[in-house]
Structure 1
Amino acid sequence: MAEAHQAVAFQFTITPEGIDLQLSHEALRQVYVSGLRSWKKRFIRLKNSVITGVYPASPSSWLFVVIAILATMYTRSDPSMGLIAKIQEHLPVSQSLSAQCQTMVSAVLFSTLLWLSLIFTMRLCLKQLLSYHRWMFEQHGKISNTTKVWVALVRIFSGRQPLLYSYQGSLPNLPVPAVKDTIKRYLESVRPLMSVSEFERMSKLAVQFESSLGNRLQWYLKLKALWAANYVSDWWEEYIYLRGRSPIMVNSNYYGMDFLYVTPTPIQAARAGNTIHAFLLYRRKLNREELKPSRVPGTVIPLCAAQCERMFNTTRIPGEETDTVQHWQDSEYVAVYHRGRYFRLWIYKSGRMLSPREIELQIQKILDDPSPPLPGEDKLGALTAGDRVPWAQVRKQFFSTGVNKRSLDCIEKAAFFLTLDDDEQGMMGDDPAGSLDRYAKSLLHGKCYDRWFDKSFSVVVYKNGKNGLNAEHSWADAPVVAHLWEFVLATDSFQLGYNDEGHCKGDVDPMLPQPQRLSWDIAPGCEEKVNQSLAVAQALADDVDFHVFSFRDFGKGKIKKCRISPDAFIQLALQLAYYRDRGLFCLTYEASMTRLFREGRTETVRSCSNESCAFVKALESGEDEDLCRRLFRLSADKHQNLYRMAMTGAGIDRHLFCLYVVSKYLGVESPFLKEVLSEPWRLSTSQTPVQQVELFDLVNHPEYISCGGGFGPVADDGYGVSYIIVGENMINFHISCKYSCPQTDSHKYGAQIRQALMDLLALASPDQRQPARMEKAQAKKDL
């Protein structure tokens, strides 16, 4: 009751002597501090909006232009060529001002208009410069003079110290490829996957589509491209993610792992304290736009930052037909799950962020809380793991009023979600490989009810201090979350650190409010629906076969010495391994970004090409090594070209997808588009890039290696493969498939990948085979 009284700013009672008014000064102070913090954030947003709005100029440049114009007028010359006089004639307050004041005001107005015109011109020039992509297709180390001049101009027009969103107004729009070009590239991509008769039939459908319906649909896309910032992204988010009615757990969400070899502290509460504080530091940098704009590695070319806006305080809200992504401007707490109970953990007090040590003590209070879950509370999270329609119906029926609505709002409006897991995970014990597999499955789906899969991301901290995260996919793609996760891992270990006992550092305020336990009133009908969702999710989770392994025989260092792109090398190894595993080729998906364009997300690189298939067949049939080596390099060059085309807006699949959406809106059927969009991706791959190399000193601290992250299989009879190239000598792989498919086995495919990597290195670098030949020769002599 005392806590309830402290929460009330004032209370009054009516007595015979009059009204007795009692003020709670602490509560009023908290109201004042909270409001002050909110206004500070508004001011920062306004200031950043101004700075970003005038970029690539700066607000101070306005004063320079004004002074320059006034100085020129002082020399009795008219830089405006009569425009200042025209403005002076039409000033609405000219009668109340002296002639000198009228001239001064007119000059300032002209200077402002000139300044805005210069900004518009600079932004237009920068946009045109960023539309140039020929630099990407030039050979490594052979830069043309045109590209050198272009780089210099980009530097000039980029201004100084850009904020996170400074380039947004200067990024070019994603171009709409010609229907003819897209169909030509599509037919080329499926040629090695079809028989002669199948390819002829598909070619006829494609020609028929191009000559009839294609141009009509293309007209609508071009109209949208003129109007919208990106003709793909909104439809991609809605139709690929938000309109999906199957579970997002496993099917859509993905995960990120902790360090492979290091656990900074074995104390669960301490690891949670530093992790939460690091997330909050990132959020503060994000809100203040203090993060450096992401760029293409090794260049000055900026990438779109639009996906960062919904990183925190964001939740996917279920709907019966389509979900929505709800974002709130701010949140001062984190939602926490532990042993079937939900808590609100305040992360600010008196306008300041809690220190890591304070957060650790608050987490420890949750861990020490002996209270049992309320009836029906412990498995509520399963609603977010099951099918979307039942969850939308349950939310509307049981969580729209009363205590359930308040508690659900608390979770959905939280900065993010945190699970304090009672299990121990990581690479440990006598079975390091098996423990990594279990670690991956735990992060991907957990117990199916101990994560809130609708949150933009959920952090998991295990009993032994290991951590990880699970991210919802609709609001952003993996590189955006990976950038956040890299910062958190580096800040946790190298900036915040721990004391000798493994506890967090920082001062402690003894008057911190207790973590607030959330209340629920779960009806029997609601509990039944929870159990149904849990059954669906559990069946899906049990079917996932996962294998995580580190390939340490070599890394990008040796691959680069062969003068081959590491990504192309790995993709060809995946093709070779799949052919050896299944005896055939399949449609292969490799994710590529289109963030060179405004609001860009991803495009598909169809890694299985005519060149890659020819190479694999030649290698497997025992053809001459020189021929195989030449085909290998041709296929690697082809892959690089496909990747670059996807990045620069000349991909296939997003264009075809949008044409299909337009056909549905118009109510017309296209046999060609229907067949294209129904083709299964039996091999879905993605590279997790290391974006902030400067945060990790792998030379002096080689043990601080990230294990990367992964995702579930896209097709029921296919594989999902994620990989991260760490340093010069390691590649980590995450392989998923389904137990229910007898043709797939994650461990078997992993073994094939290992062997394929070794075989490709031996082929690309003949020196690698010399030791093996010498060993064989010596063995013969010994015999």
Structure 2
Amino acid sequence: LAEVRQKTGMVKPSSLLKPVALTRIPGRYLAHQESLPKLPVPPLKQTCDRYLAALEPIVDSEMLKNTQELVKEFQAQGGVGDRLQKGLEHRSRKTDNWLSDWWLQTAYLDYRLPVVVHSSPGVVLPRLEFSDRQGQIRYAAKLIAGVLDFKSMIDNETLPIEYLGGKMLCMNQYYQVLCSCRIPGIKSDSVVNYALNKRPPSHITVVHNYQFFVLDVYNSDGTTLTVDQLYIQLEKIWNSSLQTNKEPIGILTSNHRNSWGKAYANLIKDKTNKESVRAIQKSIFTVCLDAPMPRVSDEMYRTRAAVQMLHGGGSRWNSGNRWFDKTLQFIIGEDGTCGVIYEHAPAEGPPIVALIDHVVEYTKKSEMVRTPMVPLPMPKKLRFNITPEIKRDIEEAKQNMNIMVHDLDMKVIVFSHFGKNVPKSYKMSPDAFIQVALQLAYYRTYKRCCATYESASLRMFKLGRTDTIRSATSDSANFVKTMDDPVKQVALLEKAVKAHRAYTDMAIRGQAIDRHLLGLKLQAIEDLSALPDIFMDTSFAVANHYNLSTSQVPAKTDCVMCFGPVVPDGYGVCYNPMEEHINFAVSAFNSCADTNAARMVQALEDALVDMKTLLDQTPKAKL
């Protein structure tokens, strides 16, 4: 987009602008975006009926009866629901997406718990075989080159447009993840994207031993540094950050958002600090060169890697070697542990995973011919003046981080009995099969069904983010309650899988209930009217207390995404179904006596195996 401005004479050509590729398609991104349909506002009665259906498996009959009365009153003609619906429809006509701004604000920017564990997902990449700093730096150099290669597709608007079921998807999130950063506030945060600046950023930040450096990744002629040049620059950074007695300034970003907002206002009063923070915020992305973590058994390795991605292991380890507000941070450990953590506000998992898939493939390419070495300037070290007050804020953030580290109960496994091949052989959706297994695992453990969140992409629509697939359905409840009866019920399993598939289709077409109900609630707040009774009802609180918060994030790379639970007594479950195995990451909190990640993983493995056995005992002709 910078090149478009350049051509129209809006800015002077900058030598740092990337040369326009021959394949450049100016305006393609905007043309594509304009051709996408708008997110619909579902009919009010449809959402009310589906809301009551979603409550059936998770609330008792007395509560349901009470809610039925409230819903009837809410959707009466000329009533409060009718008025709010009209307000939403009006909002839909005058905006590109009636939900996107509200969602960004309520789901992320107004959320005040730390982004660490509570919001930012991590991705664990396959373990690499380097065991020293040369290997670490060499891989980091290749990874940086791979991300810049992906960035050139964004800059040149040559990124392949994605499709789902023959429908084009919104590509906006790809344009939000580079050159962007979350900025803390005292009551609410903001997100800034510097990609559209007159002079787009031409540097990344590298952090090693808690010290931050600016690394320019473009030559004066606009070409990117080669892998060899990047290696030399990273080696300079490594060598000039050997002393570890520095204050871990980055750990401030892990604190509760209000505390960090106050500390941030104080931190940037100092001119040097402000310039250093700006350099991090403006960078294209951040690379964290991590110290090795304590060794663990091969069985425990993935779990340990997951917590390193999510929080860095605590203040003694790598938690200070981060800037958690940065949208994209690539983590490369000296011991071969690699992955990503991303700040969730600008994007969902799939665009991040597409970028990761591209980078992983890029790093496997054989080395290019060595380039003639032009002397490059020393990467600039970012300075921070630490006052006693800032020191106190750092100490507080360290303590809070260590509490979070001790509280996170994490388990990552490779389920090796089968992958998506088995459900597919029975003509069942692998995602629906796994979700029904989750329902079974939870029911066997707790003897009840719970509100379950699975994210559904709304990218068929302009600026679409997500809606909720409610995996706990009456059909899944019927199945899990009869699964352990002697008469195994294949028909109920089929019905439960089909119900999940139907809800998923409904959700991706913008016809699910959760974002619509949120919209009606926010419309009431915006109208300054009293909050309707259905939003003050106990059933609504139960429906939004997700004991299971889940997400399928499929990738070509054999990796797994992980995130924390969204409620104190819940689980976070993320999975990547490969052809013959499934990668699972399950999290819980140690502070809750009722949850246990390892126990849930075992229940999930058992449920998957039992469901396969059930299907195997039934001739396929019957299915």
TM superposition score normalised by structure 1? 0.73
Q: Which residue of 2 aligns with 1:6?
A: none
Asked if 1:334 is matched to 2:204, the reply is yes
Asked if 1:218 is matched to 2:85, the reply is yes
Unaligned ranges ≥5, structure 2: 1-11
**Post-superposition offset of 1:716:** 0.6
Asked if 1:683 is matched to 2:548, the reply is yes
What is the root-mean-square deviation of aligned Cα atoms in Å? 2.2
Asked if 1:288 is matched to 2:156, the reply is yes
Q: Deviations over 1:471-527 (max 9, x none)?
A: 00001111111111111111111x2x35xxxxx863252411112111111111111
**Post-superposition offset of 1:636:** 0.7
8 Å Cα contact 1:713-1:737 kept in structure 2? yes
Asked if 1:671 is matched to 2:537, the reply is no
Matches within 5 A, 1:79-118: none
8 Å Cα contact 1:336-1:342 kept in structure 2? yes
Asked if 1:544 is matched to 2:408, the reply is yes
**Post-superposition offset of 1:327:** 0.8
**Post-superposition offset of 1:449:** 2.2
1: CA distance, partners of 2:480 / 2:531: 38
Q: Deviations over 1:344-403 (max 9, x none)?
A: 1121222221111111121122222255367xx532112110011222222222314411
Shift in alpha-carbon separation, 1:529–1:42, aligned structure 2, 3 A: farther
Q: 1:724 aligns with which of 554, 570, 576?
A: 576
8 Å Cα contact 1:433-1:548 kept in structure 2? no
Q: Which residue of 2 aligns with 1:38?
A: 17
2: CA distance, partners of 1:609 / 1:371: 56
Q: Which residue of 2 aligns with 1:396?
A: 265
2: CA distance, partners of 1:42 / 1:569: 44
8 Å Cα contact 2:577-2:583 kept in structure 1? yes
TM superposition score normalised by structure 2? 0.91
Shift in alpha-carbon separation, 1:39–1:371, aligned structure 2, 3 A: closer
Q: 2:60 aligns with which of 195, 198, 209?
A: 195
2: CA distance, partners of 1:422 / 1:230: 44
Number of aligned residues: 591
**Post-superposition offset of 1:241:** 0.3
> Which one has a larger percent helix, Structure 1 or Structure 2?
1
Q: Deviations over 1:179-226 (max 9, x none)?
A: 111010011011111221111011112112222211111111000111
**Post-superposition offset of 1:438:** 0.9
**Post-superposition offset of 1:457:** 1.0
Q: Deviations over 1:97-138 (max 9, x none)?
A: xxxxxxxxxxxxxxxxxxxxxxxxxxxxxxxxxxxxxxxxxx
Asked if 1:580 is matched to 2:444, the reply is yes
**Bigger radius of gyration:** 1
2: CA distance, partners of 1:168 / 1:263: 42
Shift in alpha-carbon separation, 1:365–1:492, aligned structure 2, 3 A: same
8 Å Cα contact 2:16-2:219 kept in structure 1? no
Q: Deviations over 1:385-441 (max 9, x none)?
A: 00112222222223144111111111111111111101158xx86x22212111100
Q: Which residue of 1 aligns with 2:613?
A: 762
Q: Which residue of 2 aligns with 1:308?
A: 174
Q: Which residue of 2 aligns with 1:630?
A: 491
1: CA distance, partners of 2:582 / 2:551: 13
2: CA distance, partners of 1:640 / 1:754: 21
2: CA distance, partners of 1:42 / 1:640: 42
Q: 1:383 aligns with which of 240, 252, 255?
A: 252
State which drifts further: 735-744 or 465-474. 465-474
8 Å Cα contact 1:247-1:537 kept in structure 2? no
**Post-superposition offset of 1:762:** 1.0
Shift in alpha-carbon separation, 1:379–1:666, aligned structure 2, 3 A: same
1: CA distance, partners of 2:592 / 2:73: 37
2: CA distance, partners of 1:674 / 1:356: 57
2: CA distance, partners of 1:405 / 1:373: 23
8 Å Cα contact 1:606-1:642 kept in structure 2? yes
8 Å Cα contact 2:457-2:464 kept in structure 1? yes
1: CA distance, partners of 2:494 / 2:618: 17
Query: Which residue identity is paired with 2:510?
Result: G
Q: Which residue of 1 aligns with 2:336?
A: 465
Query: Which residue identity is paired with 1:456?
Result: T
Asked if 1:710 is matched to 2:562, the reply is yes
1: CA distance, partners of 2:129 / 2:326: 26
8 Å Cα contact 2:130-2:136 kept in structure 1? no
1: CA distance, partners of 2:270 / 2:14: 27
Unaligned ranges ≥5, structure 1: 1-32, 53-163, 499-503, 694-704, 770-783
Shift in alpha-carbon separation, 1:413–1:44, aligned structure 2, 3 A: farther
Shift in alpha-carbon separation, 1:406–1:457, aligned structure 2, 3 A: same
1: CA distance, partners of 2:515 / 2:471: 16
8 Å Cα contact 1:165-1:305 kept in structure 2? no
8 Å Cα contact 1:265-1:271 kept in structure 2? no
Query: Which residue identity is paired with 2:262?
Result: Q
Asked if 1:658 is matched to 2:509, the reply is no
Q: Deviations over 1:545-603 (max 9, x none)?
A: 00000011111112211111111110010011011111211000011101111111101
**Post-superposition offset of 1:337:** 1.1
Aligned-pair identity (%): 29
